[in-house]
C-alpha cells in the first residue's frame, strides 16, 4: 500500500506502530519497542501522556479551528505562558519548525529594511546546520546534500564556520540583518555551540542592529534541562524558533520575539491559516504545565547525568565510541565508523535510536523517561555493540 500510494521521500523501517504508552511503542504484531527517538525529540512527555490526551479531548469537544480572524482562549493562554517563562514579549504561532524558520527569516528581512534600507538584507548561517526543508529554510541550511537538487535558493545568505569567531567577524558587516544558529546542531551530529561563539554573535548583532535568531526546534522545550535552550547558554536571542516538543506530539510551532523586532511586522505581512488553532494550543498548554508546574523539567539534569554515566561505561568497553557529546537529554554517540547498521540492529532488538550524520547515534528520549528504562536501553545497546565489535 505504501509503495502504491505514498511518495518515496523517506527510508522507513519495516514496521507499523499502532499505539504507544510513555517511552514504549507497540506494533501491529504486538511487539514492543523502547523509544529513544521520541518522534525525533517531539514526544517530550512520551506517548499518549494523560494530560495531553485530556487537553486534546476536552478542547476538541468545544472548538478546533476558527482562523486568526478571531481570538481564541487557548492561544492567548499559551502566548502568556511562553512570554512569562522567557525574556521575550511577543509570539507568532505556526504549525512546524520549518514554518517557524520561514517566519523568522521574513521578520529579519523586514526588520533589516526598516533599520538600514534595501541593502540590509544579508543573513549569516552556520555550516553543517539544519533549519528545515522549505526553500527559505534550505537556503540557510549548511549542508549541500539537502540543497543541491533545489537550486537556486534564496540569495543574500552566507555560511559561517560553526564556533569560528574569526570567520564570523570577517563575514559580519552593516548589510547583515540577521544571524541564525542552532545552540546545539542536531542533524550534523549533536554539536553544542561554544558559549564564547554565541556571545560574539550577540555582540555583533547588537553592533550591527541585526537580529540574533536561535533555532531551538530540536534542542528547546526542556531538552537541555531548561525550558529554552538559550537559558542553558546565558545568551538572550532576539528571536527563538520552536516546534517539535512544544505540542508533545501534536503539530505546533512558534517564534518568540523581543518587542523591538516584533514591531517590524504589520497586519498582512505574514499569516498562517492553522497557526495557533485552539486544539494545538490546548495541547501545548498541557505540555508546558507538565514541564514547569509539575516540574518534569527539574529531573532532566539528573537523568542526563545518569544516562551519560551509563554511556561512558560503554565507551570504556568499546573504543569504537570516540566521543559522547550533548546537553541534557539530547546526546550523540560518535563512532569511528558509520552507524546505520548499529541503528538497524538496535531496532531488531527492540530499541529505537536514530542517526545524526553518518557516524553519530542520536539519543533524544522522552524527558520523563525512567531510570529503569534508561538501563533497559543501555542493555540493548550493549548487546548490539557486543555483537558488532566482539
116-165 pLDDT per residue, tens: 999 999 999 999 999 999 999 999 999 999 999 999 999 999 999 999 99
CATH number at residue 182: 3.40.640.10
Q: Which of 277, 293, 309 is the last residue of a domain?
A: 293
Are 169 and 59 in the same domain?
A: yes
Q: How many CA atoms lie within 13 A of 54 on its CB side?
A: 8
**Do residues 78 and 245 lie in contact, with contact meaning Cβ atoms separated by under 8 Å?**
no
Are 145 and 40 in the same domain?
A: no
CA distances from 135 to 237, 251, 253, 278 (A): 24, 20, 18, 28
The SS3 of residue 130 is: coil
pLDDT at 215: 98
pLDDT digits (tens, 9 = 90+) for 76-106: 999 999 999 999 999 999 999 999 999 999 9
Q: In this structure, are strands 32-35 and 351-352 parallel, antiparallel, or unpaired?
A: parallel
The SS3 of residue 323 is: strand
Residue 2 clears pLDDT 90, i.e. is over it: no
Burial of 48 (0-12, 13-18, 19+ CB in 10 A): middle
Residue 389 clears pLDDT 90, i.e. is over it: no
CA distances from 180 to 119, 176, 212, 350 (A): 18, 11, 6, 37
What integer is the mean pLDDT of 109-116? 97
More confident residue, 9 or 382: 382
Grid cell, residue 307, equals 544516562
Are 289 and 374 in the same domain?
A: no
How remote is the C-alpha of 290 from its chain's centroid? 19
Q: In angstroms, rounded to a whole number, what is the distance separating the alpha carbons of residues 180 and 98?
A: 13
Q: In angstroms, rounded to a whole number, what is the distance separating the alpha carbons of residues 25 and 35?
A: 7
Residue 390 clears pLDDT 80, i.e. is over it: no
Are 309 and 166 in the same domain?
A: no
CATH number at residue 365: 3.90.1150.10
Q: Quick one: pLDDT band at residue 193, thresholds 50, 70, 90?
A: very high
Adjacency order of strands within the sheet including 351-352 = 17-21, 24-27, 32-35, 351-352
Q: How many domains does the chain have?
A: 2
Are 218 and 301 in the same domain?
A: no
Entry pTM: 0.96
Are 112 and 230 in the same domain?
A: yes
pLDDT at 3: 84
pLDDT at 316: 95
Domain that holds residue 12: 2-47+297-389
Find the helix or strand (DSSP H, E) in which 388 lies: helix 371-389
| pLDDT, mean over the chain | 97
Q: In angstroms, rounded to a whole number, what is the distance separating the alpha carbons of residues 43 and 365?
A: 8
Q: Which of 293, 323, 352 is the last residue of a domain?
A: 293
pLDDT at 110: 98
Are 190 and 309 in the same domain?
A: no
Nearby residues of 99 by Cβ (< 8 Å), 6 or more positions away: 134, 243, 253, 272, 275
pLDDT at 1: 83
Are 41 and 186 in the same domain?
A: no
pLDDT at 315: 96
Amino acid at each position: 500500500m505504501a509503495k502504491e500510494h505514498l511518495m518515496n521521500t523517506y527510508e522507513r523501517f519495516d514496521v507499523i506502530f499502532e499505539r504507544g504508552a510513555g517511552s514504549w511503542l507497540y506494533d501491529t504484531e504486538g511487539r514492543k519497542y523502547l523509544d529513544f527517538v521520541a518522534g525525533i525529540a517531539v514526544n517530550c512527555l512520551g506517548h499518549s501522556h494523560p494530560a495531553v490526551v485530556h487537553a486534546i479531548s476536552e478542547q476538541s469537544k468545544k472548538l478546533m479551528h476558527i482562523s486568526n480572524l478571531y481570538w481564541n482562549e487557548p492561544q492567548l493562554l499559551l502566548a502568556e505562558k511562553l512570554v512569562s517563562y522567557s525574556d521575550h514579549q511577543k509570539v507568532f504561532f505556526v504549525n512546524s519548525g520549518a514554518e517557524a524558520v520561514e517566519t523568522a527569516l521574513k521578520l529579519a528581512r523586514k526588520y533589516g529594511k526598516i533599520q538600514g534600507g534595501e541593502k540590509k538584507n544579508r543573513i549569516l548561517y552556520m555550516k553543517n546546520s539544519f533549519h528545515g526543508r522549505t526553500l527559505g529554510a534550505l537556503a540557510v541550511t549548511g549542508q549541500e546534500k539537502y540543497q543541491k537538487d533545489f537550486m537556486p535558493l534564496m540569495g543574500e545568505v552566507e555560511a559561517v564556520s560553526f564556533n569560528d569567531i574569526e570567520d564570523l567577524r570577517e563575514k559580519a558587516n552593516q548589510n547583515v540583518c540577521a544571524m541564525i544558529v542552532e545552540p546545539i546542531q542536531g542533524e550534523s551530529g549533536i554539536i553544542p555551540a561554544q558559549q564564547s561563539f554565541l556571545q560574539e554573535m550577540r555582540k555583533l548583532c547588537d553592533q550591527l542592529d541585526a537580529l540574533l535568531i536561535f533555532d531551538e526546534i530540536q534542542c528547546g522545550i526542556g531538552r537541555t534541562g531548561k525550558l529554552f535552550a538559550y537559558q542553558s547558554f546565558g545568551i538572550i536571542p532576539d528571536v527563538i524558533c520552536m516546534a517539535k516538543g512544544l505540542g508533545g506530539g501534536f503539530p505546533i510551532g512558534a517564534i518568540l520575539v523581543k518587542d523591538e523586532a516584533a514591531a517590524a511586522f504589520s497586519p498582512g505581512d505574514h499569516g498562517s491559516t492553522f497557526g495557533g488553532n485552539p486544539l494545538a494550543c490546548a495541547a501545548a498548554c498541557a505540555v508546558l504545565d507538565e514541564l514547569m508546574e509539575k516540574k518534569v523539567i527539574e529531573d532532566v539534569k539528573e537523568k542526563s547525568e545518569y544516562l551519560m554515566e551509563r554511556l561512558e561505561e560503554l565507551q570504556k568497553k568499546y573504543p569504537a565510541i570516540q566521543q559522547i557529546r550533548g546537553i541534557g537529554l539530547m546526546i550523540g554517540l560518535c563512532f569511528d565508523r558509520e552507524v546505520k547498521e548499529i541503528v538497524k540492529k538496535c531496532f531488531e532488538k527492540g530499541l529505537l535510536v536514530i542517526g545524526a550524520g553518518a557516524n553519530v547515534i542520536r539519543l533524544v528520549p522522552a524527558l520523563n523517561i525512567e531510570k529503569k528504562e534508561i538501563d533497559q536501553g543501555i542493555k540493548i545497546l550493549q548487546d548490539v555493540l557486543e555483537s558488532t565489535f566482539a
